C-alpha cells in the first residue's frame, strides 16, 4: 500500500474542493509514494504524538488539524515544531491533514458531533454549496455511437447516484461541407455531405471534465468535433459547514450542558445562557472554532449553539441574543479519532490493503481545569 492510494479513497469521501478557501489541507510532509504498513489517526500533530507514532513504527499519520498552518522560513531545530518536523523526516513518516473538507463532508466531522449530541432530522447549519456539473451534447456518426458512449462512461460521465452509464441518444441527420484543406472522415471536399448521426448527452461533475473531454476526443472519428458543453444546476452533492437538528426529548439548557459534558468526556465546559432553565428542542453544532457563525444558529431557530473558542465580547453578544451557547473547547473535535479509525479499518477490509490502523491515545488538549 502507498499513501496516495489511501488518500485517493479518502478524498472521494471528503474532496479537497469542499474545504474552505486557504485551508492548508492535504500532504503536510513526506511522500505520497511512501509505503504504508501501519497508519495512525489523530486530531493534532504535536511532538508527543510524533513520539507515539515513532514508538509504534507508524509510516503514515492522518490528522484532522494541519501540522503546518504557518510556513517554515528558518529550519531552526531549537524550535519544538521544527524539531518535530525533523523527527518525522528522520523516521520516514508521511503526514496528511483533512481539515474543513472533513468538517463539511456529509457523514464527516459535524455529523459525528450531531450524532453524539443526540440530534435528529439534521441539516447543514451554514448555506450549502454544490459541485459544478456539466452536460455534454456531442454529435457522432451512428456507427460510432456505441463506442463513444462506452468511452464517456469509462471516463466517469453519466453517473447519477447509484446509476452508471446514464446517457440520452437522439438520432438525426448531420450536414457539412469540407473545404479543400480539410481531411474529412466522411464526405468529399466542396460537396455537401449528409450523415446519419446521433446526438449523445451525458452529465458529469467538474472534477471529471478534463478526462471526459479527453475520452471524447480519443475515440471520436471526426477531425472537427461538434459538441455543446454547458453548466447544469442541482445535480452536484450539496455540502455545508455545521449541523442543526432536534432533540428527541426536550431538556433544560443546564441539563443539556451537563449531557454534553458527559458524552464528550470533558473535565468542564463554558456555558453562556440568560436562562439555564429554558427548554432546549433545537440544537446547532459546529466543530472547532465557530463562534462567528452564531447568527446562522439564531436564524435557524436553535435554542442552543455548541461550538468552541468563544471569545469574551462575542459571548456578550450571544448572551444578549437570548440563545444559549455551550463552549466545550476546540478539542471536542477529538471525537473524530474513533470515527476515522472505523472508516479506515472498513476501507482496509474492503480493499485488501493489509495495513494496521491505530488511533492516537494521547489527549492533545492544551487546557486543564483545576
Q: CA-CA distance, 136 to 56, in Å (whole number)?
A: 50
Write down the mean pLDDT value for the chain.
96
Residue 237 burial (10 A CB sphere; 0-12, 13-18, 19+)? middle
- Domains, in order of start, for the chain: 3-100+334-359 (3.40.1390.30), 109-127+241-328 (3.40.1390.30), 132-232 (3.30.70.120)
- The SS3 of residue 6 is helix
Q: Which of 159, 121, 102, 130 minimizes the C-alpha distance to 343?
A: 102
What is the reported pLDDT for 7? 98
152-161: per-residue pLDDT in tens? 999 999 999 8
Helix H, strand E, coil C: the string for 338-350 is HHHHHHHHHHHHH
Q: Which of 60, 56, 85, 67 minimizes the C-alpha distance to 4?
A: 60
Strand segments, DSSP code E, in the chain are 26-29, 38-42, 60-63, 94-97, 119-124, 129-130, 133-141, 168-176, 193-205, 227-232, 238-239, 243-252, 270-272, 279-289, 304-308, 324-327, 356-359
Give the phi and the psi of residue 230 in degrees, each rounded to 5. -145, 155
Q: CA-CA distance, 342 to 40, in Å (whole number)?
A: 12
Looking at residue 20, the DSSP 8-state letter turns out to be P
Q: CA-CA distance, 208 to 157, in Å (whole number)?
A: 8
The mean pLDDT value for 268-277 works out to 97
Q: Which of 49, 43, 143, 119 minimizes the C-alpha distance to 91?
A: 49
Residue 65 annotated as binding site = yes
Helices first, then strands: H and E counts in the chain? 11, 17
Residue 343 burial (10 A CB sphere; 0-12, 13-18, 19+)? buried
What is the reported pLDDT for 69? 83
Residue 262 annotated as binding site = no
165-224: per-residue pLDDT in tens? 999 999 999 999 999 999 999 999 999 999 999 999 999 999 999 999 999 999 999 999
Residue 333 annotated as binding site = yes
What is the reported pLDDT for 215? 98
Q: CA-CA distance, 105 to 318, in Å (whole number)?
A: 27
pLDDT band for 71, please (50, 70, 90 cuts).
confident
pLDDT band for 143, please (50, 70, 90 cuts).
very high
Relative to beta strand 129-130, strand 133-141 is unpaired
Q: What are the residues whose beta carbons fall under 8 Å from the beta carbon of 118, sequence distance 6 or more?
A: 247, 248, 259, 263
Give the phi and the psi of residue 227 in degrees, each rounded to 5. -155, 155
Q: What percent of the chain has pLDDT over 90?
A: 95
Q: How many CB atoms lie within 10 A of CB 159?
A: 16
Looking at residue 35, the DSSP 8-state letter turns out to be B
What is the reported pLDDT for 73? 86
Residue 330 annotated as binding site = yes
The answer, yes or no, to whether residue 275 has pLDDT greater than 90, is: yes
Q: CA-CA distance, 220 to 151, in Å (whole number)?
A: 10
Q: Which of 142, 151, 136, 144 minimizes the C-alpha distance to 221?
A: 144
CA angle, 171 then 177 then 183, to 5°: 100
312-352: per-residue pLDDT in tens? 999 999 999 999 999 999 999 999 999 999 999 999 999 99
Sheet holding 38-42, edge to edge: 26-29, 94-97, 60-63, 38-42, 356-359
Q: How many CB atoms lie within 10 A of CB 174?
A: 18
Q: CA-CA distance, 321 to 295, in Å (whole number)?
A: 9
The mean pLDDT value for 134-146 works out to 97
The mean pLDDT value for 74-83 works out to 93
How far is CA 223 from each of CA 182, 183, 199, 214, rounded to the nearest angstrom? 8, 7, 17, 14
Instruction: Report the predicted TM-score, pTM, of the whole model to 2 decimal places.
Output: 0.88
Q: Give the lowest-confidence range in 65-74, 82-91, 104-113, 136-145.
A: 65-74
First CA to last CA distance, the chain: 45
Provide the CA 255 distance to its chain's centre, in angstroms.
33
Q: In 3-state terms, the chain is what percent helix, strand and coil (to 5)?
A: 35, 30, 40
What is the reported pLDDT for 10? 98
Amino acid at each position: 500500500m502507498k499513501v496516495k492510494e489511501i488518500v485517493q479513497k479518502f478524498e472521494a469521501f471528503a474532496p479537497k474542493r469542499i474545504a474552505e478557501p486557504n485551508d492548508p489541507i492535504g500532504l503536510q510532509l513526506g511522500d505520497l509514494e511512501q509505503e504504508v504498513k501501519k497508519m495512525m489517526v489523530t486530531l493534532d500533530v504535536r511532538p508527543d504524538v510524533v513520539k507515539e507514532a515513532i514508538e509504534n513504527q507508524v509510516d503514515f499519520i492522518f490528522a484532522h488539524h494541519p501540522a503546518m498552518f504557518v510556513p517554515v522560513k528558518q529550519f531552526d531545530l531549537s524550535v519544538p515544531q521544527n524539531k518535530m518536523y525533523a523527527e518525522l523526516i528522520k523516521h520516514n513518516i508521511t503526514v496528511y491533514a483533512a481539515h474543513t473538507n472533513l468538517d463539511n463532508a456529509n457523514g464527516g466531522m459535524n455529523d459525528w458531533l450531531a450524532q453524539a449530541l443526540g440530534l435528529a432530522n439534521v441539516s447543514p447549519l451554514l448555506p450549502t454549496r454544490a459541485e459544478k456539473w456539466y452536460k455534454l451534447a456531442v454529435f457522432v456518426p451512428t456507427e460510432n455511437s456505441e463506442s463513444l458512449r462506452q468511452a464517456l462512461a469509462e471516463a466517469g460521465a453519466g453517473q447519477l447516484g447509484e446509476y452508471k452509464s446514464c446517457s440520452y441518444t437522439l438520432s438525426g441527420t448531420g450536414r457539412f461541407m469540407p473545404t479543400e484543406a480539410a481531411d474529412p472522415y466522411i464526405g468529399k471536399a466542396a460537396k455537401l455531405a449528409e450523415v446519419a448521426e446521433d446526438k449523445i448527452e451525458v452529465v458529469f461533475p467538474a472534477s471529471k471534465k478534463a478526462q471526459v473531454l479527453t475520452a471524447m476526443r480519443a475515440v471520436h472519428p471526426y477531425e472537427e468535433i461538434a459538441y455543446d458543453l454547458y453548466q447544469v444546476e442541482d445535480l452536484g452533492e450539496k455540502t455545508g459547514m455545521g449541523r442543526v437538528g432536534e432533540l428527541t426529548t426536550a431538556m433544560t439548557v443546564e441539563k443539556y450542558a451537563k449531557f454534553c459534558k458527559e458524552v464528550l468526556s470533558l473535565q468542564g465546559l463554558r456555558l453562556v445562557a440568560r436562562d439555564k432553565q429554558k427548554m432546549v428542542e433545537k440544537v446547532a453544532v459546529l466543530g472547532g472554532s465557530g463562534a462567528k457563525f452564531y447568527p446562522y444558529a439564531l436564524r435557524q431557530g436553535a435554542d442552543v449553539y455548541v461550538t468552541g473558542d468563544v471569545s469574551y465580547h462575542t459571548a456578550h453578544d450571544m448572551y444578549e441574543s437570548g440563545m444559549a451557547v455551550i463552549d466545550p473547547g476546540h478539542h471536542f473535535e477529538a471525537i473524530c479519532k474513533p470515527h476515522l479509525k472505523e472508516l479506515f479499518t472498513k476501507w482496509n477490509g474492503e480493499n485488501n490493503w493489509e495495513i494496521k490502523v491505530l488511533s492516537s491515545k494521547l489527549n492533545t488538549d492544551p487546557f486543564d481545569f483545576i
